[in-house]
Amino acid sequence: MILQRLRHNAARKRYARHPYREPSLDALLESSLPHSNQHWSAQSWLALDLETTGLEPLHGYIVSMGWVAIERGSIKLDTARHLLIDSRNLVGNSATIHQIRDTDLEHGVELGSALLALAQALINRIPVVHHRPLDEGFLRVAYQEQFGFPWILPMADTLALERRRLSRRQEGIRKGALRLTECRRRYNLPDYPVHNALTDAISCAELFMAWARHFGGRGPKVGDCL
């Protein structure tokens, strides 16, 4: 946590020198860091999912984003957002992206606006994703390229949490057992027929709650989730 705080301060100072700062990014950096010994349900979370082309942040693009907030241990659907990214201005559009995009162009927003909307939603909330390296990599690159903003937020990763829980049980972890759908089945969560960034964000949020409710004792503290 101390390290986290130092990195956070460094990032804030670095961004403070930026010539064209965005107010919502400022606010995000100014918002206080979570207390690691607070009960999980007293903290606000933002379950988040990105759809990308490819797995390489430097060579792929974010196609859409979905998110939903968890407040007081319950998912608030009025905070749910599903943004399709307008890819017309992106360099090196591939045909495959176009195929997805052409029909949806009227819904598309520019990546920059989408990132600012996300930053707004993240104020005082901790992001939750399933498989952190991917989402974090894409967000880090995108925020850096668009705003010169250093992405340093703490994140909860349901895949890592679930791996930790399963390995504590001393059973071998089957191949595929950590996929979102497989994890959900272990908690009696339903299969969703459609997959897009928003349903996957909701799926991830539900998994996170289920994980927390099964944590044992009086439930996890914020520090246990990171």
Partner 1 sequence: MDENTLSPELAAIADFIRHTLPFSALPEDELEAVVRKMEIGYFRNGHVFDQETPEQGLRILRSGAVELRNQEDELLDRLAEGESFNLSGLLQEEPGIRAVLIEDSLLYFLPREVYQDLRSRHRDFDRFFHGQRSRRLFRATRRMVSPGEMLHPLKGLMATDLVTTPVNATVSEVAQIMARRRVSSALVLDKDQLVGIVTDRDLRTRVLARGRDGRVAIHEIMSPNPITVEEKGTLFDATLLMTRNGLHHLPVQRGNQTVGILTTSDLITARQNDPVYLVQRLSRQECVDGIKQVLRDVPDFLVHWSDDGVPADQVSHILTAISDTVTRRLIELAMSELGEAPVPFCWLGFGSQARAEQLLNADQDNALIISDQVTEEQLDYFSKLTEQVCTGLDSCGYVFCPGDVMAQNPYWRKTLRQWRDTVDRWITSPTPQSVMKISIAFDIRGIYGDMELASQLQSHMLHRVRESTIFQAALASNVLNESPPLGIFRRFVVERDGEHKDNLNLKKRGILPIVEIVRLRALSAGISEVNTLERLQLLVRGRHMSRYDSRNLQDALRFLMQVRLQVQANQISEGEPLSNHCNPRKLPKLAREQLRDAFRIVDTAQKSIRTQYRQGLG
Q: Which residues bind partner 1 (CB under 8 A)?
A: 73-78, 80-83, 109, 113, 116-117, 120-121, 187-190, 192-194, 196, 198-199, 202, 205-206, 209-210, 213-214
| Contact of 152 with 226, CB cutoff 8 Å | no
Minimum distance from CB of 31 to partner 1 (Å)? 17
Minimum distance from CB of 4 to partner 1 (Å)? 28
Rank residues 157 and 206 by Cβ distance to partner 1 and give the closer one.
206
Minimum distance from CB of 154 to partner 1 (Å)? 23
Minimum distance from CB of 209 to partner 1 (Å)? 4
Residues 6+ apart with CB under 8 A from 108: 84, 85, 86, 87, 88, 101
Rank residues 3 and 89 by Cβ distance to partner 1 and give the closer one.
89
Minimum distance from CB of 195 to partner 1 (Å)? 9
Q: Which two tokens stand for residue 180?
A: 């979102």
Rank residues 74 and 124 by Cβ distance to partner 1 and give the closer one.
74
Nearest partner of 147 among 127, 118, 172, 184, judged by Cα: 118
Rank residues 69 and 155 by Cβ distance to partner 1 and give the closer one.
69
Residues 6+ apart with CB under 8 A from 149: 15, 18, 22, 25, 143
| Contact of 211 with 184, CB cutoff 8 Å | no
- CA 18, 20, 25, 26: dihedral to nearest 10 degrees? 70
Rank residues 37 and 74 by Cβ distance to partner 1 and give the closer one.
74
